[in-house]
Structure 1
Amino acid sequence: MTLKNGKSNGKLNNQADTQKPQFYSDQAWSKQNEHFALKHFFKQHQQSAPQQNDIVVWVKQAHHLAGALRLVRLENISKHDLDTDNRNENNQEANALPNALPNNSSNVFWLRGLFIAPDCRGQGLASALLHFAFNEQLQPQNTQPSKKIIAFAPPHLHNFYLQNGYLPHNSHTLPQPLKTRYTHAQQQGKTWLCLVRNG
């Protein structure tokens, strides 16, 4: 687990050091991890719990959990990952998931979730979390320095993601595991935006 005092380009107000947001991360979430407070945070706010191999990044403010996000490397996405948020659905497409992945799959990440507690919103914490995760935590695993995060977002968050460096992405060019997930969501009536941030 890593920790870094928050310095963001968000809308955080100047406060004493004890009030500054602090960012934490776990590069390979394990079900055995003793992050009881974080697990409770996800459960309390009815958010999907982290899965094994998730990269989990969270922020505390005034010693209280304020928000968290979950990422997974494309090469670690499994059929279980694609079905996690749809446990009660018969996802036949995911069961037929191809194994082929692009050569740079270790540098491609899926933003599985981003959540800020309702009483902590409007302070720039979501932007700060995205910024911290992208710039401080995601390290390419080969000689290629580039990396990208793919996100599926509801339409009302379009401007938020644009302001944080994400651009519209053609869903037809998604890597197969994510294309399967996106197509299934559309079939279920979801109107997700397909976005990507490159760096």
Structure 2
Amino acid sequence: MSIEKVTPVFTGRVIQVNVEEVRLPNDHVATLEMVHHPGGAAILALDDANRICLVHQYRHAAKGWIWELPAGKLDNKEPPLQTAQRELEEEAGRRASEWRSLGDCLSSPGIFTEVVHLFLATGLTETPRQLEAAEVLEAHWVPFDEAMRMAQSGELRDGKTLAALLRAAPYVQGAAR
């Protein structure tokens, strides 16, 4: 694939929107609207009681409150692990001594360039939460099995959270034995 032409449409604080003409692998030239995003990190924080932190957060785009993992965008091109460590402290009030990558996921690859890096955090200790003014959320510690039930029932709808639960299951279920 090659980019033939880029027309910037909008540049904001977080995203840039372009209309891009691209030559696809089949040699067809397509005009695509693309939203460029710096990416993010999400954390499945697991405590010694086999509970994970889910935040109940108000999201305007979702028209209300949703359940999701602590997460945030990569600031100033920081490494994904550094973003994860910062967001775990800010949103969940925890630090972790052990970190494991769960890979990454694409939020909506037909239009967004955002890549969300997923992490499993264990060995947790408490630290003060430091929410930003625009963050409206409550942190809850939910048994892993209950979070999986929420995912399967549709109560939990956030894509990055669903992906992290699926990928963390073998580690969490192995720890419960």
TM-score by length of 2: 0.27
Structure having the higher strand fraction is 2
Q: Which structure features the higher share of helix residues?
A: 1
Q: Which has the larger radius of gyration?
A: 2
